Amino acid sequence: MSRNDEVADRFEEFADRLEATGVEYKPQSYRRAAENIRAHPGAIESLAAEGQDAVEGIEGVGDALSSKVVEYVETGEIEELEELRAELPVDMAALTRVEGVGPKTVGTLYDELGVEDLDDLEAAAEAERIREVKGFGAKTEENVLSGIEFARQASQRSLLGDARPVGEDLRRYIVGSEAVAECELAGSLRRWRETIGDVDLLVASEDPEPVIERFVDWERAERVIESGTTKASLRANGVRVDLRVVVPEEFGGALQYFTGSRDHNIGFRNRAIDRDLKVNEYGVFDVSELGSDGSSDVSDGVSEVEDIEAGQRVGERVAGETESGVYEAVGLPWVPPELREDSGELAAAADGDLPDLLDESEVRGDLHTHTDASDGKATIEEMVAGAAEFGHDYLAITDHASGPGVVADTGVEDDDLLDHSEAIHEVGESADIDVFAGVEANIDAEGGVSVRDDVLERLDIVVASPHSGLDGDGTQRIIAAIEHPEVDIVGHPTGRYLNQRAGLELDFEAVAEAAATNGVALEVNANPRRLDLSGGAVGTAIEAGATVVIDTDAHRPASYDLVRYGVHTARRGWAEADDVLNARDVEGLRAFLAE
């Protein structure tokens, strides 16, 4: 994994802090540079090693910004950013997660009320001091107060899309040690939860000392939190990373145990108890010859930790080296990590009814993408070529329509959509893949679609998505859009942004039933800032007989890779290939669109 996201995060913070202190123009330059660095296909640290001139090859990164890139890659910090942090000592990330609180508001509230973090903000709102600040009022204060709890919860968890690359990069680094026999991610990250508390890495080794040494020497480490003989923790890219080293014969037991979830493990443990077995992080033990609680005396003269561990290993070990062996010992097939949420997976495993989960390789196209005709960053030709190179069989270009929403100023006008459609088809004629011309229309407050019907009916595919008024119950609004005869897909149905806004409240059963009845697909937007539908909502959709579709909402070719987050989110909803529209071949897709 490259450090592009890491550098981009620092530039975005730079922009926020400059904006908060009243600096004009510069913040936009930093944000544009951050966006281009994040999207750059090569590793920013490789460019930095070549020098500033190489970094300046990225669009929007001139002399001043390239020097900061090199400075950060070489030293781990940017002196000017540290000065800005000292000048404005606020928790910018947490405060701006409160809906309606932007960088300028943060600066004002710090200057006027000394607000530095969420606790300060909450105290000021509860004391009704915010309404006394010029430009604020009672309603603003109420909105801020109502958004603090959501922001506080969000501050405690990292996005899957931020944490997973850190974990994967660390895993690649750690397996470079000859002392490592096996190494896997664990915890909620292995279950592909949409947000995670920390990164868990599990290593099997007969010699943990060099593994621990390699871990704490990782160049990405911002701070080593603790380091012991078999455990260590550090912080990288703002995420806590925990390492645990176990002996190889216990690796499978530890992997099952530390992957979780807690509720899954409780159910699994209870199943083992019914069979006179004990399951823990050290493996599976036959305790039929021991007491009812599986306990046994252990030797005196050992440390408390050794005493506890010895007590956990009593009985005859029957499994522990491999995770599949741990499940088999309890009479079950291996359960995919995404399903381990105590949602019926153990009963399904026992009955032989586990789903044949969708695989990343089974996704054959992307049906929600954008070009520079609206707010995308690439041409039609570049998006099509990128999809072909990625391995897709087909692609739909669905630029934003004009109208209310996040891109009201850059959407394609109704009268221009058909010309744009012709341009897309022209590119498609010489492409190696099938290319569809469509639109992402906005769903208004009443469920209306923001493009004229006579235009919609001439497009290959219509995605309708909510972009404004994203609070309260939106069930009837989304159902109304589903019932529109030209809508094929409802994009990111709740409109949520993880850790930023909760989005619409939906009765997913009602929405799913409407989608199934009307032959409309519900999107799993694979952008890790959305993952909308969630895994649970995917499960509801499938139960109702609705079709789901996994799209990246790509604004540049590099974003096609985000599809994996959508696939694993769908897997959390027990999705199989037959449930997913873009796991069908192009003829199957055409048949769905024609219904």
DSSP-assigned states of every residue in 329-398: HTT-PPPPGGGTTTSSHHHHHHTT----B--GGG--EES-B--TTTT-SS-HHHHHHHHHHHT-SEEEE-
**pLDDT score at 146:** 82
pLDDT digits (tens, 9 = 90+) for 153-211: 666 688 999 999 999 999 999 999 999 999 999 999 999 999 998 999 999 999 999 99
Instruction: Please name the residue ranges forming H helices in 438-585.
Output: 453-456, 475-482, 508-518, 535-543, 563-572
More confident site: 550 or 41: 550
CB 23 within 8 A of CB 30: no
CA nearest to 538, candidates 552, 548, 529: 548
**pLDDT score at 93:** 86
> Mean pLDDT lowest for which of 341-355, 402-416, 475-489, 512-526?
402-416
> What mean pLDDT is predicted for residues 27-53?
87
Grade residue 237 by pLDDT with cuts at 50, 70 and 90.
confident
**pLDDT score at 314:** 81
Please state, in angstroms and rounded to a whole number, the distance separating the CA atoms of residues 208 and 325.
24
Please state, in angstroms and rounded to a whole number, the distance separating the CA atoms of residues 319 and 330.
9
* pLDDT at residue 406 tops 60: no
CB 339 within 8 A of CB 572: yes
Please state, in angstroms and rounded to a whole number, the distance separating the CA atoms of residues 278 and 419.
67
**pLDDT score at 303:** 40
* pLDDT at residue 404 tops 80: no
Please state, in angstroms and rounded to a whole number, the distance separating the CA atoms of residues 221 and 95.
25
Grade residue 407 by pLDDT with cuts at 50, 70 and 90.
low
Angle at 448 between CA 453 and CA 140, to 5 degrees: 145
For 340, how many CA atoms within 13 A lie in the half-sphere containing its CB?
Answer: 26
> What mean pLDDT is predicted for residues 285-302?
57
> What mean pLDDT is predicted for residues 426-434?
97
- Tokens representing 506? 């939906």
- The helix/strand/coil state of 321 is coil
Grade residue 292 by pLDDT with cuts at 50, 70 and 90.
very low
DSSP character for 523?
E
Q: What percent of the chain is predicted at pLDDT more than 70? A: 94
| H or E element that contains 233 | strand 231-236
pLDDT digits (tens, 9 = 90+) for 558-576: 999 999 999 999 999 999 9
CB 507 within 8 A of CB 515: no
Average pLDDT for the chain = 91
Torsion over CA: 88, 93, 98, 99 (sign): positive
Grade residue 223 by pLDDT with cuts at 50, 70 and 90.
confident
pLDDT digits (tens, 9 = 90+) for 442-469: 999 999 999 999 999 999 999 999 998 8
DSSP character for 399?
P
Distances (CA, A) of 55 to 46, 508, 538: 9, 47, 42
Please state, in angstroms and rounded to a whole number, the distance separating the CA atoms of residues 497 and 194.
11
551-585 burial, b at 16+ Cβ within 10 Å, e below that, comes to bbbbbbbbbbebbbbbbbbbbbbbbbeebbbbbbe
Report the C-alpha dihedral over residues 572, 577, 581, 585, rounded to 10 degrees. 150
Count the neighbouring beta carbons within 10 Å of the beta carbon of residue 415: 10
**pLDDT score at 291:** 58
CA nearest to 449, candidates 396, 395, 503, 490: 490
Torsion over CA: 379, 382, 386, 388 (sign): positive
Please state, in angstroms and rounded to a whole number, the distance separating the CA atoms of residues 366 and 461.
12
- Tokens representing 140? 């603003």
pLDDT digits (tens, 9 = 90+) for 498-528: 988 889 999 999 999 999 999 999 999 999 9
More confident site: 256 or 499: 256
pLDDT digits (tens, 9 = 90+) for 76-115: 889 999 999 999 999 998 898 887 788 999 999 999 999 9
Exposed/middle/buried for 82, CB within 10 Å: 0-12, 13-18, 19+? Answer: exposed
Please state, in angstroms and rounded to a whole number, the distance separating the CA atoms of residues 249 and 323.
11
Please state, in angstroms and rounded to a whole number, the distance separating the CA atoms of residues 334 and 17.
49
CB 522 within 8 A of CB 530: no
More confident site: 314 or 566: 566
Please state, in angstroms and rounded to a whole number, the distance separating the CA atoms of residues 361 and 225.
38
pLDDT digits (tens, 9 = 90+) for 365-386: 999 999 999 999 899 999 999 9
Please state, in angstroms and rounded to a whole number, the distance separating the CA atoms of residues 5 and 8.
5
Q: List beta partners, residue 284.
A: 279, 319
Instruction: Please name the residue ranges forming H helices in 21-62.
Output: 26-39, 44-50, 52-55
More confident site: 299 or 543: 543
The domains of the chain, with CATH numbers, are 4-155 (1.10.150.110), 159-246 (3.30.460.10), 251-350 (3.30.210.10), 360-594 (3.20.20.140)
